[in-house]
Amino acid sequence: MASQKRAQYPVSWLPYALVAPQLAITIIFFFWPASQAIWQSLLVQDVFGAHVQFVGLLNFRELFADPYYLGSFWVTGEFAVLVTGSALIVSLVLAACCDYLIRGTRAYKMLLVWPYAVAPALAAVLWAFIFSPGVGILTYVLRQWFGYDWNYLLNGGQAVTLVVIASAWKQISYNFLFFLSGMQAIPKSLIEAAAIDGSGPLRRFATIVFPLLAPTTFFLMVVNVVYSFFDSFGVIDTTTQGGPVRATNLLVYKVFEDGFKGGDLGGSAAQSVVLMVIVISLTVIQFRYIERRIQYA
């Protein structure tokens, strides 16, 4: 064993040195802040750090005794399902169409990838402008052509629709790229064999392409759920600020508001620990499932 290792690496410290930068980044930017969050969640302190008290799990007990916090869970769950679902479905359809195309694929690809370069806050401003109750073009179209009264500042359902669209729109580009490359990795011979057997494009998609894409789909699901849990606060902050009433008050937005705006460091840290646990467990569950799917495929 030992001689084998020496044969691979001329000096024993080399492998450690090679992984060290990556390890350092992970520790400094992930583990250390996470451990800080856990530590702070056990404290109650004023913003200036003059009075710091250790309170054990008090912050967590208060959170779970707060019906409004529990309400945010539902809102976040609903938001995650809507964003992930719509972003996946739309991008899958776009990728399938693009894959089916023979000419002009590059142009479509490029155009479809563009939105990914837009920061969440900008995407939100863009959509908020289009849907603005005062000046938005879509508000105008909805009212003039369909007689539909659009005001997301008062109507919770409309507010959710707006933030879901703004968040999903950005994610579609990302999903599209993965789906398209996933489809192009499927051996052409399989598709051609099915075509010779007489199955049309829809049937080929349903019975060959989609099942073979399963690992990609599950991977994207994880990424999209994590995105809707963590990356959504820019969208909320620029459009609804959690309102109206509490229709769009996502867990991550409350972390930001309580911590950065409200100065409640302990409570905010406790909330981020809760979020961390949710995302870690979701990731673990989904990755185990993916592994099984890969063996199955």
Residues binding other proteins (CB under 8 A): 44-51, 53, 62, 66, 68, 133-135, 151, 153-155, 241-246, 257-258, 260-264, 266-267
To the nearest whole angstrom, how small is the minimum distance from the Cβ of residue 279 to other proteins? 25
How far apart CA 38 and CA 166 sit, in angstroms, is 31
How far apart CA 233 and CA 242 sit, in angstroms, is 9
- Is the Cβ of residue 221 or residue 255 nearer to other proteins in the bound state? 255
Q: Give the end-to-end CA distance of the chain in Å, rounded to a whole number.
A: 35
- Is the Cβ of residue 15 or residue 262 nearer to other proteins in the bound state? 262
To the nearest whole angstrom, how small is the minimum distance from the Cβ of residue 156 to other proteins? 8
To the nearest whole angstrom, how small is the minimum distance from the Cβ of residue 65 to other proteins? 10
Q: Please say whether the beta carbons of 197 and 272 come within 8 A.
A: no
- Is the Cβ of residue 231 or residue 237 nearer to other proteins in the bound state? 237
How far apart CA 239 and CA 268 sit, in angstroms, is 22
To the nearest whole angstrom, how small is the minimum distance from the Cβ of residue 221 to other proteins? 32
Q: Please say whether the beta carbons of 205 and 97 come within 8 A.
A: no
To the nearest whole angstrom, how small is the minimum distance from the Cβ of residue 258 to other proteins? 7
- Is the Cβ of residue 159 or residue 222 nearer to other proteins in the bound state? 159
To the nearest whole angstrom, how small is the minimum distance from the Cβ of residue 183 to other proteins? 44
- Is the Cβ of residue 138 or residue 279 nearer to other proteins in the bound state? 138
- Is the Cβ of residue 156 or residue 201 nearer to other proteins in the bound state? 156
To the nearest whole angstrom, how small is the minimum distance from the Cβ of residue 31 to other proteins? 21
Name 52's bridge partners: 45
Buried b (16+ CB within 10 A) or exposed e, 79-102: bbebbbebbbebbbebbbebbeee
**3-class DSSP state of 231:** coil
- Is the Cβ of residue 158 or residue 173 nearer to other proteins in the bound state? 158
- Give the residue carrying structure tokens 């690496």: 9
Helix (H) or strand (E) run with residue 293 in it: helix 265-296
Measuring CA to CA, which residue among 247, 230, 239, 228 is closest to residue 71? 247
